[in-house]
Structure 1
Amino acid sequence: MKLDPSFIWEAFLKLLPVIPTTLLITAVSVLCGFVIGTAVAFIRIYKVPVLHPIAAAYVTFIRGTPMLTHLLILYFGLPLLLDGVSAQLGLGFRSASIPMIDFAFLAFSITAGGYMSEVVRSGLLTVNRGQLEAAYAVGMTTPQAIRRIVFPQALAASIPNLANSAIGMLHASTLAFTVSVVELFAKAQIVASTNWKFFEAYLAAAVIFWGLTVLIERAALLLEKRINQYNRGGVA
């Protein structure tokens, strides 16, 4: 087998149009996962009654099972649930009308939430308890102290791990092809199926993923630098 450099370039050009799909899956899962993870982290740290054991079980299940499992459970299970409820209530809704990419959004967001909850929780635990007590001393309520003092510091400490989570979700977006979503990996397979040059197509996809990963790393470094300048009083 000979390497065909010209086809690597050809495949690279054909993969460019699906980059927005991959980025959209990544962005939605990371943003929604961060919101879910933050809520779960606070529930676990402050041991909210009833919700605390549920949150702990959620994190354990998500981290203990493959991401593909979450996607397939929702892909096969959610339509059964929705169609059953729709039939019971006499509604005309059918799960077949749900876009396939929505299953990827939901599954990846739930997965990201489980992992990001531990990232956010570790960041919150790095903030000295004395700062919270000092906030109480000047008359702040707990929500005010968390919003103004605790959470900003926890977020700053969590940026490197959050960036790793974002990169992980970028790479995990390739699993979306299992529910017929055409992202970078699926498109590489489609492109290669015309002449069986899968190696070249996967190399082209790898280069694109590498470039996107570098962009995320650079964005995280710039954000971390900005926050550090603010903490030193360098930003008004």
Structure 2
Amino acid sequence: MRLDFSFIGTAFLSLIQAIPNTLYITVVSVAVGFLIGTAVALIRTYRVPVLHPIAAGYVMFIRGTPMLMHLLLIYFGLPLLIDGAADALGFGFSSANIPLIGFAYISFSITAGAYMSEVVRAGITAVNRGQIEAAYSIGMTTVQALRRIVMPQALAVSLPNLSNNLIGMLHGSTLAFTVSVVEINAQAQIVAATNWKFLEAYIAAAILFWGMTVLIERGTGLLERRINNYNRGGVA
């Protein structure tokens, strides 16, 4: 068997059309997951009654089970809940109205939320407690102290790990093909199925993922340097 370099180029051009779905899944799951993770981190940091054990259980379960398992649980379990509620309440909406990529959005957002909550929580605890007490001493509320003092510093500290989570979700988006969402990995299989040149197709997919990963690393590196310059009082 010989490697067909020309087909790698052909496959690469075909895979480009699957980039939007991969980026949609990555961006949506990371954005929603960050909101979920921030809320969970604050609940666990301040030990909010009732919600604290629920948040801790959520993080423990999600981090203790595979990402593919979350997707399959949502894909097979959510329609039962939606259709059951629709029948009970007389709604016309059903799980059939949800696009397949919607299940990936929901599942991966839940997954990202658990992992990002630990990153954000570590960033919050890294902020010197004395700064929070100083904020209280000048009359700031907890919300104001979080918004003006804690969260900006916590996000700066957490940026490298948030970048790792973003890259992890980009690579994890390949699991969406199990629920028939055509992203880069699925497109590679479709292209290769025409002539069984799977190795060439996967090489093209690997190059594409590597390129996007490098862009993320360069972008977050630039952002981190700007934040560090700002924190040191330099020109951002």
Structure 1 length-normalised TM = 0.98
Q: Which runs of 5+ in 1 are unaligned?
A: none
Q: Match for 1:198: what amino acid?
A: F
Distance in 2 separating the partners of 1:144 and 1:83: 42
Distance in 1 separating the partners of 2:45 and 2:94: 40
Equivalent residue, structure 1, for 2:6: 6
Distance in 1 separating the partners of 2:134 and 2:93: 54
**1:235 CA displacement:** 3.9
Moved more, 103-112 or 223-232: 223-232
Q: Which runs of 5+ in 2 are unaligned?
A: none
Distance in 2 separating the partners of 1:123 and 1:92: 45
Equivalent residue, structure 2, for 1:99: 99
Moved more, 88-97 or 140-149: 88-97
Distance in 2 separating the partners of 1:87 and 1:142: 44
Q: Match for 2:50: what amino acid?
A: V
**1:156 CA displacement:** 0.2
Are 1:152 and 2:142 an aligned pair? no
Equivalent residue, structure 1, for 2:196: 196
The correspondence of residues 1-236 of structure 1 with structure 2, limited to 5 A, is 1-235=1-235
Distance in 2 separating the partners of 1:184 and 1:196: 17
- Number of paired residues? 236
Q: Match for 2:165: what amino acid?
A: S
Q: Match for 1:219: what amino acid?
A: G
Describe the superposition over 1:47-100 as per-residue Cα deviations: whole angstroms up to 9, x where unpaired.
000000000000000000001111111100110111111111122222111100
> Percentage identity across aligned positions?
72
Distance in 1 separating the partners of 2:217 and 2:234: 23
Distance in 1 separating the partners of 2:160 and 2:216: 11
Describe the superposition over 1:19-38 as per-residue Cα deviations: whole angstroms up to 9, x where unpaired.
11101100000000000000
Describe the superposition over 1:143-194 as per-residue Cα deviations: whole angstroms up to 9, x where unpaired.
1111101110000000000000000000000000011100000000000000
Secondary structure, counterpart of 1:62 in structure 2: helix
Secondary structure, counterpart of 2:153 in structure 1: helix
**1:142 CA displacement:** 1.1
Structure 2 length-normalised TM = 0.98
Describe the superposition over 1:173-230 as per-residue Cα deviations: whole angstroms up to 9, x where unpaired.
0000011100000000000000000000000000000000001101110111111111
Moved more, 185-194 or 89-98: 89-98
Runs ≥4 residues deviating over 3 A: none
Distance in 2 separating the partners of 1:235 and 1:124: 25
